[in-house]
């Protein structure tokens, strides 16, 4: 399937989609410093260096999907948060305009968590309305990259929309790890001394050259740390994931070999004065590793600050890959029906059902919005463990008091997730770890679709702990 990319930068999101089996046929970017890097690493993609506001819809190739993340500075808490009062914020509207004009099967939009701030609530809802009016069913989620084998805490909002006429069932990918990947696992093998660049442009900088440099782009900005740098802790240890890799070179996280910073009070941190020569920022290659760019992805730059900017602005390729796989699966199922064939009813009685309780309408709506049902798995009352799921349930019976509905579940093994992921979906949690079961659709199954005759449901309405049973045992 072919996609086109907007706000492509150096192509992190594009790389993830390519690795998932999509073909990025055309890419647009406004920043000239991205051009050489993108072309070098995406030789089969037509690259267009142009202001998106000057691009006519008829110049964009026909494709299956649009992908891209409009500039985030208008919404970022690290910026002035001018929203649509910022010209860059208005580019979001231009992107929607092009989606409406070309009507691809799907689109993906990525942006910062700041979009969810209360001050932008009206704008956020207006974006969703415009996308809905353009003919798309839209889902959005706040994802933290650390839950997807990416060694940094990085929360970003993702919108995915499919044309309504396609009747696509889509779910955002569930976490792929239950504990973070550490800095030691990610960059611990890079032991050589980096090239220290004291200025922006390489030709104007004093440069300490490591003639045996094994890793490409192992350059580090060695200029003075600005006053803003000391407003927070900039160092994490070897056994932790990194802070967010941002687009400003001056604020790149400290290398974990650096001494700890000293805390003196709110927004008042500093270096240990007897160890000042031991502090350094992450190198360009180390930041790229943390963003999950492979070492054979080479960054071209005359100014090292442009390198940090390209990397920090990118969607981590590994996260792009996970979302792309979910989109691919959704599109692959367009012509497939989830209905149970009545010829299979002889075997349906043995199908496994997970009986699960929900706490009320608000809780139910969150379950259906995320197409996810979660069960505690931390050993406390009502917990369920992964080894109990050796046989996967085909259905979820969701009940509250005397109300009950049956939903079809995906066949994948449930994912073990921590509480922080569950909270990002809007749920209130009281435990530490949870098993996550993915619904195929937010629409309940009709009982007559499952069996040939009229039935009533039998289950323990007072049992709030989840349990497994069979279709035969809950039907009469």
Tens of pLDDT, residue by residue over 443-465, are 887 655 555 444 567 777 767 78
User: Which CATH number belongs to the domain containing residue 362 in this structure?
Assistant: 3.10.590
Closest CA to 325 of 95, 39, 19: 19
Q: What is the pLDDT of residue 312?
A: 96
Q: What is the pLDDT of residue 53?
A: 92
What span, in angstroms and rounded, lies between the C-alpha atoms of 365 and 362? 5
User: Which CATH number belongs to the domain containing residue 244 in this structure?
Assistant: 3.90.120.10
Q: Find the range with the poorest average confidence among 8-17, 272-281, 383-392, 394-403.
A: 383-392
What span, in angstroms and rounded, lies between the C-alpha atoms of 2 and 64? 5
- CB-based contact 197:218 (threshold 8 Å): no
Residue by residue, DSSP assigns 280-344 as -BPPHHHHHHHTT--TT-PPP-SBHHHHHHHHHHSPPHHHHHHHHHHHHHHHHTTT---SPPGGG
Q: What is the pLDDT of residue 195?
A: 92
Crossing angle of helices 317-332 and 12-19, in 10° steps, is 40
- CB-based contact 28:8 (threshold 8 Å): yes
Tens of pLDDT, residue by residue over 315-343, are 999 999 999 999 998 998 764 433 333 33
Mean pLDDT of the chain: 86
Q: How confident is the model at residue 9 (pLDDT cuts 50, 70, 90)?
A: very high
Residues 398 and 440 in one domain: yes
Tens of pLDDT, residue by residue over 200-222, are 565 555 454 555 568 899 999 99
Closest CA to 7 of 288, 322, 301, 313: 313
Q: Which residues contact 300 (CB under 8 A, 6 or more apart)?
A: 36, 37, 40
Residues 95 and 173 in one domain: yes
Residues 368 and 247 in one domain: no
Q: Is 72 among the residues known to form the active site? A: yes
Per DSSP, what are the bridge partners of residue 393?
A: none
Host domain of residue 360: 342-474
User: Which residue is it, tokens 């600005």?
Assistant: 226
Cα 51–Cα 57–Cα 59 angle in degrees, nearest 5: 80
User: Which CATH number belongs to the domain containing residue 65 in this structure?
Assistant: 3.40.50.150
User: Is residue 337 domain-resident?
Assistant: no
pLDDT at 415 over 90: no
- CB-based contact 425:365 (threshold 8 Å): no
Higher pLDDT, 62 or 80: 62
Q: Find the range with the poorest average confidence among 23-32, 103-112, 429-438.
A: 429-438
Given 10, 34, 72, 389, the catalytic residue: 72
Tens of pLDDT, residue by residue over 150-184, are 999 999 999 999 999 999 999 999 999 889 999 99
Tens of pLDDT, residue by residue over 349-390, are 678 889 888 988 899 999 999 999 998 887 776 677 665 565
Closest CA to 245 of 193, 203, 287, 204: 287
- CB-based contact 105:67 (threshold 8 Å): no
DSSP state of 153: -
Confidence (pTM): 0.69
The SS3 of residue 98 is helix
Per DSSP, what are the bridge partners of residue 254?
A: 281
Q: How confident is the model at residue 226 (pLDDT cuts 50, 70, 90)?
A: confident
State how many domains the chain has.
3
Residues 441 and 393 in one domain: yes
User: Is residue 231 domain-resident?
Assistant: yes
Residues 93 and 241 in one domain: no
Residues 144 and 38 in one domain: yes
Residues 320 and 303 in one domain: no
Q: Find the range with the poorest average confidence among 34-43, 149-158, 167-176, 404-413.
A: 404-413
């Amino acid at each position: 399937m072919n996609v086109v990319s907007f706000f492509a930068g150096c192509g992190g999101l594009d790389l993830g989609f390519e690795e998932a089996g999509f073909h990025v046929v055309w890419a647009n970017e406004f920043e000239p410093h991205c051009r050489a890097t993108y072309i070098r690493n995406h030789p089969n993609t037509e690259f267009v260096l142009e202001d998106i506001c000057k691009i006519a819809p008829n110049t964009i190739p026909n494709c299956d999907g649009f992908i891209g993340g409009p500039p985030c500075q208008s919404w970022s808490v690290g910026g002035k948060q001018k929203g649509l009062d910022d010209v860059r914020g208005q580019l979001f509207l231009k992107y929607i305009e092009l989606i409406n004009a070309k009507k691809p099967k799907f689109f993906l939009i990525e942006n910062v968590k700041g979009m969810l701030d209360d001050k932008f609530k009206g704008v956020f809802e207006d974006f969703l309305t415009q996308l809905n009016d353009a003919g798309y069913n839209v889902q959005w989620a706040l994802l933290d990259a650390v839950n997807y084998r990416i060694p940094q805490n990085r929360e970003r909002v993702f919108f995915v929309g499919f044309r309504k006429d396609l009747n696509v069932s889509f779910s955002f990918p569930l976490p792929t790890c239950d504990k973070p990947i550490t800095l030691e696992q990610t960059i611990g093998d890079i032991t050589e001394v980096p090239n220290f660049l004291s200025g922006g442009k390489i030709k104007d900088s004093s440069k300490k050259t490591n003639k045996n440099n094994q890793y490409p782009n192992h350059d580090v900005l060695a200029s003075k740390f600005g006053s803003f740098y000391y407003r927070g802790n900039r160092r994490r240890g070897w056994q932790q994931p990194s802070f967010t890799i941002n687009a400003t070179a001056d604020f790149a996280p400290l290398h974990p070999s650096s001494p700890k910073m000293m805390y003196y009070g709110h927004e008042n941190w500093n270096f240990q004065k007897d160890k000042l020569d031991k502090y350094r920022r992450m190198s360009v290659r180390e930041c790229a590793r943390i963003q999950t760019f492979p070492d054979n992805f080479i960054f071209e730059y005359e100014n090292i600050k442009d390198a940090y900017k390209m990397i920090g602005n990118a969607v981590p390729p590994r996260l792009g890959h996970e979302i792309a796989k979910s989109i691919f699966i959704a599109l692959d199922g367009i012509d497939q029906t989830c209905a149970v064939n009545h010829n299979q009813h002889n075997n349906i009685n043995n199908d496994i059902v997970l009986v699960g309780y929900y706490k009320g309408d608000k809780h139910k709506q969150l379950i259906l919005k995320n197409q996810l049902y979660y069960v505690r798995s931390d050993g406390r009352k009502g917990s369920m463990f992964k080894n109990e799921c050796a046989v996967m349930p085909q259905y979820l019976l969701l009940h509250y008091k005397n109300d009950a509905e049956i939903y079809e579940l995906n066949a994948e093994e449930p994912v073990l997730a921590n509480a922080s992921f569950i909270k990002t979906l809007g749920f209130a949690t009281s435990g530490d770890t949870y098993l996550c079961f993915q619904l195929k659709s937010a629409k309940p199954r009709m009982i007559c679709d499952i069996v040939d005759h009229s039935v009533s449901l039998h289950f323990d309405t007072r049992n709030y702990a989840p349990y497994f049973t069979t279709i035969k045992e809950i039907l009469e």
